[in-house]
Each structure stands twice: as C-alpha cells, then as structure tokens.
Structure 1
Amino acid sequence: MTIAQSPPTLSLPDHTQLPESDGTFVKNFQEHPQSILLTSSIRPVLEQLHPDGRYCIGQDSGIYWRSIEPPERGAEAPDCFYVPNVAPLLDGKYRRSYVMWKEIVAPLIAIEFVSGDGSEERDATSPFLNPEAKAGKFWVYEQAIRIPFYAIYEVQKASVEVYELVAQRYQLLEANDRGHYAISSLGVELGIWQGKVDNQTLPWLRWWDSNGNLLLTGEERADLEKQRADVEEQRADVEKQRADRLAAKLREMGVDPQDI
C-alpha cells in the first residue's frame, strides 16, 4: 500500500489524473446550506490569517491519501475541510481534488455531517489489520492524513464531537462553558446554533470567535448592515420631525428659527 509519505521518485497520479467524484449523491437537503453556512462565515477569519490568499476550503472534495485501484478506495471526501498555506489554484487551474503525495501541508480540520447512524464517520478500521476492507474514515484522518482536528456533526442529535490529534491519536475535546469547542489554531470555536437557515429551522453547526461572538455569513452581515441603516434612517426621521415641530412652535411665538 502506498500512502502520503511515498518516495518522491515514484510516478504517482496528480489531481488532474484522478476522479473528482465517486458518483454518489449529496445525502440530504440540509447538507448544502450547512456547508455554505460554515464556509461563508469563516472566510473573513481565513482572509485575515492569510492576507496572501494562500488557503483552500474543500466541500465534498476528495482527499487522496494512497494510490490504489480503484482510485476512489484511496480517497475520502469530508463534507468540509480547510488547508492552510497552500495555493488555491494549481498551475492556474482549479483543484479537482487534494492529493497528499503531491502536497506538503495536510488539512487542519475536517468536518463530517452524519447522515446515517454515525458508524461510517467513526470507523477506525485499519487496512493493515484487514487488507480486504476499506480503511475507515476515522483511521484515515487520524493515522494516514493526520488531520489535527476532526469534527463529527449530527443534526438529528443536535450535537457535534470534536477530536484533536494528540501524540498521533485523536482525543475527544471537552466543550467550554459556552458549549463550544475551541479550534486553537484558528482562534475560533465550533458549536451548535438553533435557528432558521434557508427556511429550515434546525440545530446548525456554526463558528464563533474566541469571545463567543457568532461568526456571520455574508448574507447575515448584509442583513445586519441593512437593519442598522434602517434604524439610522428611522432615527434621522424622528430627529427631523422633532426639529420641524420645534421650528413651527418658534414661528408661532414670532421667532425665526434661523435666528437661533
């Protein structure tokens, strides 16, 4: 079995030579808005961390960690993942997938949305112990790719488990006083937020900053700015009406408001 640490002399395929899809469907109607919710709200943080723009966000994109036939057996596709300090484009082209034997940097965090009973996301099956079995996701993220943070989100249970790689093993993080999980390398927290998104009221997976402030999506930020503008407009209207009444009162008293 060839894994990410394969010698550079081997001629292994790159992202243009590997399948960019395994042909499976997105599991449900909640996953797409959930992905957008996570990626849109975290982008301002990532742009501040990477002013040079060198970072990638993958959504249902393949991470190839070993070369095997068929190729899809050597890949996992997290629902969402982030890679720091890498070019968003390769040779001026969009990335079809993320190929570990062609890269230096591993993803910092991978997030899986549970659509079944969660066994697939927690599967720690090792291909070394059972070469005939497909390596489990948990094992791949922990032992093969070695992703520092791994989150398993279950909308049906309104919960998220967050694991941190410590001494080459995932350890389950404890929630803080806000019920959130600190992703220290990003300076943010991950947790569950109950609310309405795309006409669906559900327990959504959201980001907060280290002070517990919810990170807003682009649409939410625009809505908030509009609300602020509306409030300012209403305040200006009230002040104008008050000034007009005062001016009228002064005129009744024979005083020209312009003389004051």
Structure 2
Amino acid sequence: MTVEATKETIIETSVADTWELHKPPSDLIFDDGEPLESNRHRIAMNVLIRSLQQAWRDRTDFYTGGNMFIYYSSAQARNRDFRGPDFFAVLDVDGIRERQGWVIWEEEGRYPDVIVELMSPSTAQVDTGIKKDIYQRTFRTRDYFVYDPFNPDSLQGWRLNSEFQYQQLTPNEQGWLWCETLNFWLGTWQGTIDRETAIWLRFYDTSGNLVLLPEEAAQQQAELAQQQAELAQQQAELAQQQAELAQQQAEAERLRTEAETRRAEAESQRAEAERLRAERLAARLRELGEDPNNF
C-alpha cells in the first residue's frame, strides 16, 4: 500500500500518545483504492500470509494480514497518514475475530510483532527509512524485513534489541534471515506460484524445510497418499508372490515326499523279491539234498 509520511510526524508521535482510548476516531477508512505495486507483489504478500496460516492452522492465538491499514494514533487517523505493511503478524491475540484493519486502540494497544515490506524502486527509501523508524520507535515491532520481489538480493532484516534499537540481522550460509518471533527462517525460493515464476520470499522451519502453502501441503499429502497406495500395492503383490512361492515350495515338498515314498516302496519290493528268491533257491537245494548254507 502506498503511503506518505514525514520525519516530523515520526518525531511528534511517541509511545505515550500513539493511541487515545478516551477519544478514539470513529470515521476510519479501510480502503483507499490503491493497488499493490504489481501482481508479483500481491502474490508475494499472499504467499507469506497463507503459508503462515497453513503452518499454524491448528492455532487461533495469532493474526496475520497484509495491505490493510494500521491505525495507531488519532493524529494519524485525522491526517489520513495511513501505514499499511504488506505483511504483518501479531501473536497472542484473538485470531478468529474479523477485522477490516488493525486499530491499535481496539486491540488493547497491541502492535505488529513482525512486519515484512515488499519493496519496489519507488518505495525502497521509505521502507528502509521512515517506515523502519516508525516500526522501531513507535510500533516497536520485534522483527522487520524488507524484500523486493523483483530483486532476489534485496532481502534485509532487523531485530529489536534490549535498547529498542534495530540491530541488522546476519544471513546464514543460504542467505536466510532468522525471524525469532515466528521461529522461522525467511529466505528465497524459486518456483511458480499462481502461474508466475519468480524468486519468492518464503518461510523455512528450523530444520530447513519449506513452509508450505495450503495447496502445496494438499499436493504433498496427495503424493504421500499415492506413495502409500503404491507401497500397499507393492506389499500386496509381494505377499501374493510369497504365497505363490510358499505354495510352490509346498508342492515341491509334496512331490519330494511322494518320490521318497515311492523309492522306499520300490526298495521294500526289491528286498521282498530278493527274500522270496532266496527262499525258493534254498528250498530247491534242499530238494536236491544240498545244504543251502554251503552256497
């Protein structure tokens, strides 16, 4: 969202007067009709929002949004000095309640805990200057990042230190920046989303795994289910093969047993025939007056 601000506004705005419970404005505007810089900026914003929602799909204690107004003081509201981060997340709040924008005095004074601005050449100076100062001094947003979706080398990030000053983050060997508040890395990923191929800003978990979009998670689950089905089919085929092999082995054992039985019977028959022959010979010798033991 395109916004204008001056350094005087920053200086005049302090933590004490950022919101006024006794006299909150009632004529807030939540749509200025200003589009995002490009379709790629729109996709990049939705990637961050939807992937965080997917990662924390079982949680209701956070809110994430983007390209929506954040009202933090009556003076800002009266001057129409709107500040709309492209992506922001607030923890430990009711994430189910519907909101047209983020109005600080309606949120018990809660400011965004994490902000990402998707820069362009026309907004880079504001995003790394005036806005960064406001997020540090007024919002006291713990983690702030900037990235130009058309420039893969543009990722920068800051962490609020104990003195409420932004300390620039050092990238890891992959070029990712650690977002301590969300417990995720922010890094680049090349691929096609919504029919546009680019190098997108994505979240990664502590193990380095890409935090998936809902459709990516569904595709992964479908592929896993397909793999499990194929594995089950392979296991069924293996079981069938094992059953057939066992049947073949049983048949072979039966045939071997039958052959052994036949051999034993044949041997028994030969032995019986030899016995009968010997008896006949002995009888004949006795008829002839000969002693069979002499033969």
TM-score, with normalisation over the residues of structure 2?
0.70
Aligned-residue offset at 1:208: 1.0
Which one of 87, 92, 96 corresponds to residue 80 of structure 1? 87
Q: Which has the larger radius of gyration?
A: 2
Answering whether residue 44 of structure 2 is matched by residue 34 of structure 1, we say yes
Partner of 1:232: 228
Instruction: Call closer, same or farther: CA 1:188–1:238 in 2, change over 3 Å.
Output: same
Partner of 1:11: 23
Partner of 1:62: 69
Partner of 2:293: none
User: What is the rounded CA distance, in whole Å, between the counterparts of 2:79 and 2:237 in structure 1?
Assistant: 68
Aligned-residue offset at 1:12: 2.0
Identity %: 25
Number of paired residues? Answer: 236
Q: Which region of structure 1 is more displaced relative to structure 2, 113-122 or 58-67? A: 113-122
Aligned-residue offset at 1:223: 0.7
Partner of 1:113: 118
Instruction: Call closer, same or farther: CA 1:234–1:189 in 2, change over 3 Å.
Output: same
User: What is the rounded CA distance, in whole Å, between the counterparts of 2:180 and 2:21 in structure 1?
Assistant: 36
Partner of 2:138: 144
Aligned-residue offset at 1:59: 1.3
Aligned-residue offset at 1:156: 1.8
Give the counterpart letter for 1:40 in structure 2.
R
1:26-52 Cα shifts (integer Å, max 9, x gaps): 22111232223212222355456xx5x
Q: Would the aligned equivalents of 1:3 and 1:66 in 2 still touch at CA under 8 Å?
A: no
TM-score, with normalisation over the residues of structure 1?
0.78
What secondary structure sits across from 2:30 in the alignment? coil
Aligned-residue offset at 1:78: 0.5
Q: Would the aligned equivalents of 2:54 and 2:213 in 1 still touch at CA under 8 Å?
A: no
More helix per residue: 2
Instruction: Call closer, same or farther: CA 1:101–1:61 in 2, change over 3 Å.
Output: same
User: What is the rounded CA distance, in whole Å, between the counterparts of 1:170 and 1:252 in structure 2?
Assistant: 75
Give the counterpart letter for 1:119 in structure 2.
Q
1:32-85 Cα shifts (integer Å, max 9, x gaps): 32223212222355456xx5x232112111111232377464321011100112
Answering whether residue 173 of structure 2 is matched by residue 177 of structure 1, we say yes
Partner of 1:158: 152
Instruction: Call closer, same or farther: CA 1:226–1:23 in 2, change over 3 Å.
Output: same
1:14-37 Cα shifts (integer Å, max 9, x gaps): 5xx310022201221112322232
What secondary structure sits across from 1:214 in the alignment? coil
More strand per residue: 1
What secondary structure sits across from 2:38 in the alignment? coil
Aligned-residue offset at 1:252: 6.8
Which one of 190, 194, 211 corresponds to residue 194 of structure 1? 190
Q: Would the aligned equivalents of 1:88 and 1:95 in 2 still touch at CA under 8 Å?
A: no
User: What is the rounded CA distance, in whole Å, between the counterparts of 1:12 and 1:44 in structure 2?
Assistant: 34
Q: How does 1:121-132 map to 2 (within 5 A)?
A: 121-122=127-128, 124=129
Instruction: Call closer, same or farther: CA 1:58–1:5 in 2, change over 3 Å.
Output: farther
User: What is the rounded CA distance, in whole Å, between the counterparts of 1:88 and 1:149 in structure 2?
Assistant: 20
User: What is the rounded CA distance, in whole Å, between the counterparts of 1:238 and 1:41 in structure 2?
Assistant: 34
1:93-148 Cα shifts (integer Å, max 9, x gaps): x21211224432221111111133422312x3xxxxxxxxxxx2222212221211
Q: Would the aligned equivalents of 1:89 and 1:95 in 2 still touch at CA under 8 Å?
A: no
Q: Would the aligned equivalents of 1:56 and 1:83 in 2 still touch at CA under 8 Å?
A: yes
Q: CA RMSD in A?
A: 2.7
User: What is the rounded CA distance, in whole Å, between the counterparts of 2:143 and 2:36 in structure 1?
Assistant: 23
Q: Would the aligned equivalents of 2:190 and 2:200 in 1 still touch at CA under 8 Å?
A: yes
List runs of 5+ in structure 2 lacking aligned partners.
1-11, 253-295
List runs of 5+ in structure 1 lacking aligned partners.
125-135
User: What is the rounded CA distance, in whole Å, between the counterparts of 1:177 and 1:31 in structure 2?
Assistant: 26
Q: Would the aligned equivalents of 2:142 and 2:181 in 1 still touch at CA under 8 Å?
A: no
